[in-house]
Structure 1
Amino acid sequence: MKKISVMLAMILLVSLIAGCGKSGDSEKSDETTLSIWYWGEQEVPGYKAYMEEMVKRYEEKNPDIKVEAVLQESDNLYTAFRTAEAASEGPDIQYMWGGTQAMEDVWKGNVAPLSDYISEEELSVIPQSSLAQTNWDGKQWGIPAYGFTYGIAYDKDAMRTAGVDPENPFTTWEEFMDCCEKLKNAGITPLGMGLKDGYLPAWIGIFLGQQNLDSVNDMISLMSGKESFTDEKYAEWLEKIVELKTAGYINDDILSLDLYQGQQLIENGKAAMTLHTQAYAVSLEKSMGADKIGFAKAPVFGTGKLADSVATPSQVYVIPNSAKHKEEAADFLLFLQEEENIKCLYEMANAIMPNNNFKEEWVTSEIDKKVLSWQKEYNNFCYQLYFAPMFESDGLIPVVQKMFSEDLPADEAGKELDAALTKCIEQNPEVHEAFLEWSIEE
């Protein structure tokens, strides 16, 4: 009997140990894994390292949460998300480009309202101008990942060689063209660009497309089909593309280079200027020196109230509809908005978070000081934020590519853009209607 009792006790003990093991495994399986699909390294160098630091800090603060942040490629940023969302297997947090590039997925039903999980008070530290880019139907759908300003990065040594003042190379279009001519005569390619992957047309539009507009309503009228790209008010920037191409101010291999390859021509000493973001330009300023890299506003040719505006948009994070941990996702997004993390973003990636907690005293870069002065002095308008859904991919990209590959004239380009826009509106009536309601509010 004693032997049987001992045996039964041992069996009971083993069962208890096994039970404890199962309980531990169960607790371990209950650990929350927060998935983030993000982008940004291509636009603001250092963003990957910043995100890794944010993951580390957040996990230390929340030991019961594991964060898996995956850097996405430009070409599959949206396709991978939409495929995953269609299968109800999207991440908990998704990065998107701002304006309609984020709102299109809101209108398609792929995004959950952020304001269901983050209060108005918690969002109050973010300027309304930044929130408005993803605010629709009385709800907030996105929160800034970071902000930045578009400009023209240029090589000061190239300017000196060409006899151009490196501190004040141009302000007007006439001065810009004169600068390009002097560079060309000095044997220097004025502008480095890449058109192969299709991102460049929107960039050119951001610098030139708004210059005859007086307000966002002019843009809405165009994108709703009420106005035409053949009207000089909306077409003059297309003529400027032809001017630059005809004059030979753009690298000959533009069609064989992607956007970032074209931008890198300035780093490689193969071009004097390129269209860039302030964050990337600051990274060049740090690596190459403030005496080497400058940053300028777009040259002014237009007569509209937005002619001298600067484009300072925000890229955003959204919470997908299929996210399994929406509350935790909202908490992580608010974590990124804390002052010490905003400072970390600036220090590691040269990116300025549109948040009232950002301190100008942190700024040491000459380019950033200049950009902050622009933001105070000029209107903020980003042409690309107001594209009608599908217009960029189905209209602007192929048309501008044809302007280079087939020498498509500006007036014909305008007609093709009108036709493409009409098709986009007809094929996406419900999404387009939502776009108009959002834009009118904006």
Structure 2
Amino acid sequence: MKLGKQKYVVAAVAALLSLVLASCSSSSNTSDSSATEDTTAAKAVDLTWWWWGTGDVPKMNTWVEWVAKAYEDSHPGVKINFEERTDTDITTAFEAAAAAKKGPDIAPAWASAPVLTQVWANNIEPLDDLVGADEMGNWLNVAENAYEGKTWAAPIYIVGLPIAFNKSLFAKAGIDATKPPTTWKEFLGFCTSLNKAGITPIVGGNRAGFEGSWWFAHLGKQYMDSPADLQKAALSGDFKRIGQWSDRFNEMFDSKCFNKDVNSLELQEKYDVFNKGGAAMVLAIDGAAIGASEAIGAENFGTMVLPAFGDGKMAEYYTATQSISHFITSWSPNKEVAADFIKFWHTTESLNKWVELTGVMPADSRFDQSTVTDPVKQQLFALNAKPSVWLSNFEPGPVFEQADLAGGQLISTRKGVGKDNTALWVKASKGWVEQKPEEVANFKKWAGVK
């Protein structure tokens, strides 16, 4: 998922941080969900793990610290060196590492296209020879990282993107919080009612373009039958049908749905505004939604999804993904230990600790959701169980940067309307096809296009 965080971010920082100096050791491929065997004690191993996730899960660092120590405690001789990547260096730091063939044993990339881009560059080791099929069969959304019959990266969590709302502000505007909109016109009517009551309808942060990308995730699928529609459009440059999403996004600005400073706020900054009662709605990733419910009170917190109004078969799909994925680098001298550590993330102890520390749904079918009693988390987990898609996972990197991010900004800054946004997508896709023929050839294989 290309989040605010996300993906393919062009940055000036290109830093290669940690070099792995240790040698390889073996580990078990057991699919037992309660523990992995300690087979690493014979030889000292320094394992370098680059991770990303704070943008999705604000408290993820607490689990990272816990899981590294828990694995070290149960595997004497193994040292886990973990380093957090940021939105600005997740791509550039790894590109530097890949060029040198030195760096992390485990690294992050957003699911699907960003992962597969590294697969096509021969920078990722497939998991199939390191982790048993019985084990991986319990992991959720692994299809997002499948290519030519192999699985290339592992999930940790599932995050959705609900529209969170403040019930008390809805009430002030005369909106019945128990009756979500059933048509696009009704949704825009919510904005009108809130504005009349002097309440900002939606707070967004589109300084880097991610707010627009998130709304594309909700609006774009209304005009698609499957993710293949987006892949084929990127290859052909035909965005006539999909481009209707930008007309809807433009209508949101015509209806004054957003805060006046939407273009100056970063994505994460919008949550502070919502949490302080400064807006009635916010498009919030699960971790932020949980934080919002704590800030305004669970009794005032609600979630909803957009009504289905487009002609696509995915119009009623939810927006959710494993988001960030973690993979084993092709140059790692510690592949078996790295694989064993990844399996450890999916043990019963680790899954339970993940939910305890973060409140976010783990990407494993073995987690017992009946143990979740918090009503807000129940809402979010139930939404995540619906058929879902995260569209930017299926975009080529240049299209994401030059159209998905930039196109939403074109509309939010009022420098263009729907047709201008669509023209940007066409230009970006055609440029990508012309400039990266090898990547395009691999993308066609992935999309099933001859």
TM-score, length basis structure 2? 0.86
Matched-pair contact (CA < 8 Å) for 1:194–1:263: no
Residue number in structure 1 paired with 2:255: 247
Does structure 1 conserve the Cα–Cα contact (< 8 Å) formed by 2:398 and 2:428?
no
Residues 278 and 367, structure 1, Cα contact 8 Å, conserved in 2: no
Residues 43 and 375 of structure 1: is their aligned pair in 2 closer, same or farther, counting only changes over 3 Å?
closer
Q: Which residue of 1 aligns with 2:22?
A: none
- SS in structure 1 at match of 2:366: coil
Moved over 3 A (4+): 371-376
1:39 pairs with 2:39: no
In 2, Cα distance between equivalents of 1:238 and 1:432? 25
Query: Residues 261, 90 of structure 1: CA spacing in aligned structure 2 closer, same or farther, 3 A cutoff?
Result: same
Could you tell me which amino acid in structure 1 is paired with residue 219 of structure 2? L
State the 1:193 CA deviation. Answer: 0.9
Unmatched 5+ residue regions in structure 2? 1-40
Q: For residues 233-272 of structure 1, what are the structure 2 equivalents within 5 Å?
A: 233-272=241-280
- Asked if 2 retains the 8 angstrom alpha-carbon contact of 1:391 and 1:424, the reply is yes
Give unmatched runs, 5+ long, in structure 1: 1-27
The counterpart of 1:340, out of the listed 341, 349, 362, is 349
Partner residue, 2:238: 228
Query: Within 5 Å, which residues of 2 pair with 1:166-205?
Result: 166-205=177-216
SS of the aligned residue for 2:46 comes to strand
Q: Does residue 157 in structure 1 map to residue 168 in structure 2? A: yes
For 1:440 and 1:265, the matched residues in 2 are separated by 44
SS at match of 1:146: coil
- Bigger proportion of residues as helix: 1
Is 1:319 the counterpart of 2:332? The answer is no
Match of 2:226 in 1: 215
Distance in 2, Cα, partners of 1:288 & 1:400: 29
Q: Please give the per-residue CA displacement for 1:346-368, whole angstroms capped at 9, x wherever unaligned.
A: 11112212212111112223233
Which structure 2 residues correspond to residues 383-422 of structure 1 after superposition, within 5 A? 383-422=391-430
Deviations 1:334-380 (A, max 9, x none): 0001112111111111221221211111222323323444455x432
| Aligned-partner residue type, residue 148 of structure 1 | V
Q: How is 1:353-392 mapped onto 2 (pairs within 5 angstroms)? A: 353-376=362-385, 378-392=386-400
Does structure 2 retain, via aligned residues, the 8 Å contact 1:224–1:388? no
Q: Indicate if the aligned counterparts of 1:171 and 1:297 stay in contact, CA closer than 8 A.
A: no
Query: Contact 2:271/2:288 (CA < 8 Å) preserved in 1?
Result: no
Partner in structure 2 of residue 101 of structure 1? 114
Please report how far the alpha carbon of residue 186 of structure 1 lies from its aligned counterpart in structure 2 after TM superposition: 0.8
Alpha-carbon contact 2:110-2:325 (below 8 Å) kept? yes
Cα deviations by residue, 1:24-73 (Å, 9 ceiling, x for unpaired): xxxx9962111111111221121100111111111110121111111222
Aligned to 2:103: 90
The letter of the residue matching 2:94 is: F
Q: Which residue of 2 aligns with 1:62?
A: 75
Give deviations 1:151-190, integer Å, cap 9, x for gaps. 1111122111111122334343222111111111111111
Work out which of the residue numbers 282, 296, 301 in structure 1 matches 2:304: 296
Shift of 1:287: 4.4
Distance (whole Å) between structure 1 residues aligned to residue 447 and residue 353 of structure 2: 33
1:146 is matched with 157
Q: Distance in 2 between matches of 1:352 and 1:44?
A: 10
Report 1:12-27 matches (<5 A).
Answer: none
State the distance in 2 between where 1:428 and 1:397 align: 20
CA–CA distance in 2 between the matches of 1:99 and 1:264? Answer: 31
How does 1:68-87 map onto structure 2 within 5 Å? 68-87=81-100
For 1:43, give the aligned amino acid: D
CA distance 1:172–1:350, shift in 2 (3 Å): farther
For residues 119 and 166 of structure 2, what CA distance do their matches in structure 1 show? Answer: 41
Q: Supply the distance in 1 between the matched residues of 2:137 and 2:149 (Cα, whole angstroms).
A: 15
**Using the alignment, how far apart are the partners of 1:403 and 1:356 within structure 2?**
40
Question: 2: distance between equivalents of 1:320 and 1:200?
Answer: 31
Cα-to-partner distance string for 1:69-114 (whole Å, 9 max, x where unaligned): 1122211111111112211222111122112122222222222212
Partner of 1:123: 136
Structure 2 residue matching 1:408: 3-state secondary structure: coil
TM-score of the superposed pair, with normalisation by structure 1: 0.87
Structure 2 residue matching 1:318: 3-state secondary structure: strand
Aligned residues: 408
RMSD: 2.0
**Inter-partner Cα distance in structure 1 for 2:91 and 2:380:** 30
Question: Is the 2:277–2:296 contact (alpha carbons within 8 Å) kept by the matching residues of 1?
Answer: no
Q: Which amino acid aligns with 2:238?
A: S
Do 2:207 and 2:263's aligned partners in 1 also have CA atoms closer than 8 Å? yes
Match of 1:433 among 406, 422, 441: 441
The CA distance in 2 between the partners of 1:395 and 1:304, in whole Å, is 21
Bigger drift between 263-272 and 71-80 goes to 263-272
Question: Does the 8 A contact of 2:201 with 2:257 survive in 1?
Answer: yes
Matched-pair contact (CA < 8 Å) for 2:157–2:360: yes
Q: Which deviations, in whole Å up to 9, do the C-alpha atoms of 1:128-150 show, x marking residues without a partner?
A: xx111111122110010211111
Aligned partners of 2:198 and 2:143: how far apart in 1? 46
Preserved CA contact (<8 Å) 1:36 1:93: yes
What is the letter of the counterpart of residue 157 of structure 2?
A: Y
Partner of 2:340: 331
CA distance in 1, matches of 2:414, 2:179: 35
